[in-house]
Amino acid sequence: MNKIMDKTEHSILEGIPATSLNLNLSRSTIKMRHSSTWSVHKSNDVHDLVVCLTGGAQYFLDGVEVRQQRGEAMLIPAGSHFEGRLDHGDQYTGVAQHFTLTLFDNVDLIQQMELKPVVQLPNWEQLESLVRYYRSIAPSSSTTLQQVHLFMVILLAYLDCAFVRWSEDSLQNLGGQDALSLHVMLIAAQISRDPLDKDEAERLIASVPYNDDYFRRAFKAKIGYTPRKFMEFKRMEKAMNILLTGKSVNATALAVGYNDVYFFSRMFKQYMGVSPSYYRISADRRKFLTTGDIYHYTE
């Protein structure tokens, strides 16, 4: 399982169905606006993601010093004791959100990861607007559905930057259905990383400590496809992206490993609901309609 536990160049949760993750905002958003007199000494029972908008702060997480400044996100894991005070600037502003993130309703996903405590969020020029909007709409004593979706974007941005690897102890410390759920997620993520390797799914399944048929049934129950069908689905997703670049159906079929274009077309329609040629034409038309150059169009 070592290969599966390593970090990849793709999003760490790539390939996991959205319905497999349950994000819960445990309390109303804390709209931070702290002056030089501010300090905090406490611990929380749930995870806390803190995003700095202005100024900076010095924290000690379980005795380890970390510093945070504008555009950086910091995770305070559940159960950690932390101390904080103003580090620089007249004010330290941002948002702090208590949350839980569970996989298949029974695995604390954050606890299964080794994460950098503080990271610079990517594309901060764009993400800053989202964080400020998130802060502005947050009710004082509740959370909203809109917040859940917005916070997931912020949290995923942090996780993609902060992720080091899956915890070496995560699979050993989990038992029963929790361990099975994590194995399914790791296999799905690895298949998503390289769906063009036709033998990868079988190699990965051979590496898990479960009966072959039992694991395949569990994978289908949680992901919606067998491992082989899931790999084919991810290949078709890759084909969609290639078609969007303007490649022909023939070239796309070859790019995703199909020498028989007719078989590829049948598979594409089976998974995506339309033929690749129709999808390509529809994509070209959508691209045309969004260029704004409608005055040169003639029927």
* One domain, residues 269 and 186: no
289 pLDDT above the threshold of 70: no
pLDDT tens for 215-227 read: 999 999 989 999 9
C-alpha 62/C-alpha 43 separation (Å) is 9
pLDDT tens for 11-42 read: 677 767 788 889 999 999 999 999 999 999 99
Report DSSP letters for 92-133, one per residue: EEEEEEEEEEEETTTEETGGGEEE-SEEEPTTHHHHHHHHHH
Give Cα separations from 73 to 85, 101, 125, 143 (angstroms): 16, 17, 14, 20
Residue type, 45: D
Cβ neighbors of 67 (< 8 A, separation 6 or more) are: 56, 57, 58, 59, 87, 118
120 pLDDT above the threshold of 70: yes
Mean pLDDT value across the chain: 87
Quote the pLDDT of residue 98. 98
- What's this model's pTM, rounded to 2 decimal places? 0.77
Pairing of strands 64-69, 81-103: unpaired
* One domain, residues 210 and 269: no
* One domain, residues 116 and 69: yes
Quote the pLDDT of residue 181. 85
Assess if residue 198 is contained within a domain. yes
Burial of 287 (0-12, 13-18, 19+ CB in 10 A): exposed
Assess if residue 111 is contained within a domain. yes
CB 131 within 8 A of CB 65: no
Quote the pLDDT of residue 185. 86
Cβ neighbors of 293 (< 8 A, separation 6 or more) are: none
60 pLDDT above the threshold of 90: yes
Quote the pLDDT of residue 182. 85
Assess if residue 295 is contained within a domain. no
* One domain, residues 40 and 97: yes
C-alpha 95/C-alpha 132 separation (Å) is 9
144 pLDDT tier (thresholds 50, 70, 90) = very high
Give Cα separations from 4 to 175, 191, 208 (angstroms): 18, 10, 10
Question: Which of 166, 194, 215 finishes a domain?
Answer: 166
Give the range of the structural domain holding residue 186, as residue numbers without chain letter.
170-229
pLDDT tens for 3-17 read: 545 444 456 777 677
Q: Please give the backbone phi and psi of residue 17, each rounded to the nearest 5 degrees, phi first.
A: -60, 140
* One domain, residues 222 and 238: no
Cβ neighbors of 95 (< 8 A, separation 6 or more) are: 29, 30, 31, 32, 50, 51, 53, 131, 134, 135, 138
CB 68 within 8 A of CB 74: yes
Assess if residue 3 is contained within a domain. no
295 pLDDT above the threshold of 50: no
Q: Which secondary structure element, helix H or strand E, spans residue 261, and what is its range?
A: helix 261-272
Residue type, 25: L
**Cα–Cα–Cα angle for 270, 246, 199, rounded to 5 degrees:** 50
pLDDT tens for 259-276 read: 999 999 999 999 999 999
DSSP bridge pairs for 97: 49
Assess if residue 104 is contained within a domain. yes
DSSP bridge pairs for 81: 43
* One domain, residues 36 and 156: yes
DSSP bridge pairs for 163: 115
* One domain, residues 81 and 180: no
253 pLDDT above the threshold of 80: yes
Only one residue has tokens 């479960």, namely 210
C-alpha 276/C-alpha 279 separation (Å) is 5
139 pLDDT above the threshold of 60: yes
**Domain count across the chain:** 3
What are the structure tokens assigned to 273, written together? 């609901």
